Every structure is written in C-alpha cells, then in structure tokens.
Structure 1
Amino acid sequence: MSDIVLRLDGIEKGYKLGQPGELRVLRGASARIARGEVVALVAPSGAGKSTLLHIAGLLDTPDAGTVEIMGAGLSGARDRKRTAARRRQIGFVYQFHHLLPEFTAAENIVLPQLANGIARAEATERAGMLLAQVGLKDRADHRPSALSGGEQQRVAFCRALANAPRLLLADEPTGNLDPATSDQVFDRLIALVRDTGMGALIATHNLELAARMDRVLRLEEGVLVDGLA
C-alpha cells in the first residue's frame, strides 16, 4: 500500500466573473501528503486555500488536474463514488465546529458512524474512546451549548475522525479560539493525527502553528510551493 494519502497533480480552478472575465484561483497546484504527515497550508485570505481544500476533499471538482486518495483517482469520479470516498477516507474540520446543538458530544460523534453503517454499540464505544483521547471523557453527555469553544472544537476533531479516515483536511481549525486555547486544541489535534497514522493538510493563518508542523506549503498565485515566505 502506498504511503501517499493525498496526491494533487496540476490542479486548475477558475470562476466566471461575467463575460468574458474569469478569476483563475489555482494554476497547476500539486502536492503530496504522506501517512502520519502533518502539513500546513498558508496563504493570504482569498488566495484559494478553501478552494484547494474543497477539491482535495472531493467537495468540488477541478477544471483540470487529478486528485488521488490512497492511490485511487477520484477527481473525475461519479458523485456516488466521491461521496463514498469522503465518508470513508476523509475527515473535515472547519473554523466553526458546526456541531448539531440538539445532540450530546458523544452523539455528534456517533451519528457519522451510523451513516457509515457502523453498529450503534461499536460507534458509541469509539466515540467514548476518541473523547477520552482529547480529555473530554467526562463531557460526553453534554450538549454543545454546555461546552467551551475549545471543547466544542475538540469534539469536532473527534467527529472528523469518527470513521477512521486516512486523510484529515482542516480549514483554520483554531482560528476562532484565543491563543492559549488554540495551542491546547492544536496539540490535541496533532496527537490524534500521530496516533492514527493518517495524513493531514491544515490551512492556517497562524505562522507559529504552521512552523510546528512537519512541512509548510504556501499557495502563491495559484501554485503550491514549499516553506514559509
């Protein structure tokens, strides 16, 4: 089995601005993310980080180029195959946790597993295990409104890992937290990624956090280059 979890080759993406204008956001972006590797994605606002993550996560399709997850080419796959790959192999974390407010922390982690065909007892056991890993074992029965911002985001991490994905994509996952909480949540996230051996691509404006990851990819004029500026 390949050590490459995510392969992006020559990704192009543009948006129509009316005739005849077009905004080219990605211009041949290419990258490799390996197992157990945590890679930072940095760029100014509006440079295309979210677009790149959406394409990598099979939520959007490129105009040209290829996306491979665990060696399988999926950029041109039918919707059903892309949906199955997202559910089984990709976990998403966003700046805002988007937890379901009417469900407890544990239930928010159980639900995506049930959607993936996991038995409730097994899903509940895994939810408890994940919450324990991020220090929230005693908060499993709390609804999001009873959790702090940092706790809510840790639950969101657990939800993203519920189906044991091979690739984690995170878009400013600590951007809505104060610096002290951001550091704590980031440390928990990195520990989870290391423990599971998945690959992670994490978009962030925080250059201090980026420098703590294994590598940094910088998006410049639609192309990915290595290292901080």
Structure 2
Amino acid sequence: MNDPVLRLSGIGKSYNPGQPNEVNVLRGIDLTVAAGEVVALVAPSGAGKSTLLHIAGLLDTPDTGTVEIGGTDMTGQSDRKRTGVRRRDVGFIYQFHHLLPEFSALENIVLPQLANGVSQSEAQTRALSLLDEVGIGHRADHRPAALSGGEQQRVAFCRALANAPRLLLADEPTGNLDPTTSDQVFAALMTLVRGTGLSAVIATHNLELAARMDRQIRLEAGQLVAL
C-alpha cells in the first residue's frame, strides 16, 4: 500500500501560550490524504484553517504532533530540508492571486520552474500547456493588471502546479470572485487537479463547491469532524 501524500498526527497549535489571552487554534488534529484524493476543508473565518494549511505545507510548525509528506516525517527537519520538500512537493493557492505584476501570465508560471532548475524552453512549454488547460492560453502574454479576476486566479492555479507537486493546498481559492466566475474558475481548478492526479486540500466556506470534492471535513473548535 502506498504511503499517503499527507498525514497529520496530533497537530496542536496555540498563540500566546501561557498568557491570559492564549488561543488554542488547533487541538489534536489528525488527517490523512491519499494519493489523488481531493479533500474539502470547510471552516468559517477565524477557525484556524489557514494555520492548518500552513502547517500542512511546512510554512509553519505545530506545537505538538507530526507532519508527514510522502511518508517522510518532517518534524524537526532543518529549514533547508523543509524548504526543499515544500518547493518540490507542495503547491499553494491563496484567495488573492499574488502574481508578480511586472511579469506576464506566462512568465509568472515559468519563473518558479526556473528556480527549480528547469530549462527555459521546457518551462515555457509546460506553462503554455497549463494555460491552455484552463482556457486562457491566448492570454499568456498579458500582465496581471490586464487580466480579469477569474483569469488572474487561473494563472495562480497554473503557477501552483508548475513544478508538478504531489500536494496542492488552497485557501479559499475562489473567495474573491462572484458566484458565476467562482463556479467557472473552480471547475478549471478541478480539471487541473484531476488531470494531474495530485492530492489536494481545498479550504472553502462554499458547501456547493465542497460537495464536488471526494471528502468533506469541517474545522470546529480546533478539531476536525467529517461532514
């Protein structure tokens, strides 16, 4: 049996520990995500979903518990090792696209590949393929300011998948879009995810979008419950 792509065991996280204003954000979180599985993480604002995603993606460290990616326990690993795994195996998508404004859509997807040692020609070929897959290949030479909100977010999706990660973590990826655009953009995201077979944890407060994923879990009072 293959190791799960992501395994969180006993994850706990608090802010201002030992202080009167201590906040226990996560309490003994256990989560396993299988290869190719897409999990919806449903939670209201302030419930700790961003903290959970940051820990899962090695951007933050838990107070207690372990994080395994591809069967490797990342607990206590050096910053260099964590950065290498994050760059190679994890893709991130946020509510805001965070594209580099001075670069075109194509260049925004090429740059992370170059940083990972891919050749210019190979990076451009993959970037164009990804843009075509989400239906905006014809916008490749446009800078972010010339793109609509939905187009900007599609470019962000492509950038997150540029280095072919094993795990995608998305924090309200359509939260800034109107309902019609949100539905279209989410469909484009799912096309990318299903087409590449990667695993994903996608945070959303939209129950209709959550229902289109393989499994739905809810973050309540610092713990996960199945929907």
Q: TM-score, normalised by structure 1?
A: 0.96
Deviation string for 1:8-27 (max 9, x for gaps)?
11100000077344211000
Partner of 1:110: 110
Structure 1, residues 33-89: CA drift from partner, whole Å, max 9, x if none?
112111100112111000000000000000010101111111321100000011000
Kindly indicate whether the alpha-carbon contact (under 8 Å) linking 2:3 and 2:71 is maintained by their aligned counterparts in 1.
no
Q: In 2, are the aligned partners of 1:54 and 1:60 still within 8 Å (CA)?
A: yes
Kindly indicate whether the alpha-carbon contact (under 8 Å) linking 2:8 and 2:56 is maintained by their aligned counterparts in 1. Answer: yes
- Name the counterpart of 2:53: 53
Mapped to 2, the partners of 1:212 and 1:153 lie a distance apart of 19
Taking the TM superposition and a 5 Å limit, the aligned residue runs for 1:1-229 are 2-16=2-16, 19-227=19-227
1:87-137 CA distances to partner (integer Å, 9 max, x unpaired)?
000000000000000000000000000111111111111001100100011
Structure 1's 3 and 17: CA in aligned 2 closer, same or farther, altered over 3 A? closer
What amino acid is the match of 1:67?
A: V
For structure 1, which segment, 177-186 or 216-225, has the greater mean C-alpha deviation from structure 2 after superposition? Answer: 216-225
Aligned residues of 1:174 and 1:185 also touching (Cα < 8 A): yes
Moved more, 12-21 or 100-109: 12-21
The alpha-carbon deviation at position 225 of structure 1 amounts to 1.3
Aligned length: 227
Normalising to structure 2: TM-score of the pair? 0.97
Please tell me whether the aligned partners of residues 61 and 76 of structure 1 are also in contact (alpha carbons under 8 angstroms). Answer: no
**Letter in structure 2 aligned against 1:13:** K
Distance 2:192 2:34 in 1: 16
Question: Aligned partners of 2:198 and 2:130: how far apart in 1?
Answer: 15
Gaps of 5+ in 1: none
- Aligned residue for 1:4, secondary structure, equals coil
Over the residues paired in the alignment, what is the CA RMSD in angstroms?
1.2
User: Contact 2:34 / 2:199 at 8 angstroms: preserved in 1?
Assistant: yes
Unaligned runs of 5+ in 2: none
Identity of aligned residues (%): 74
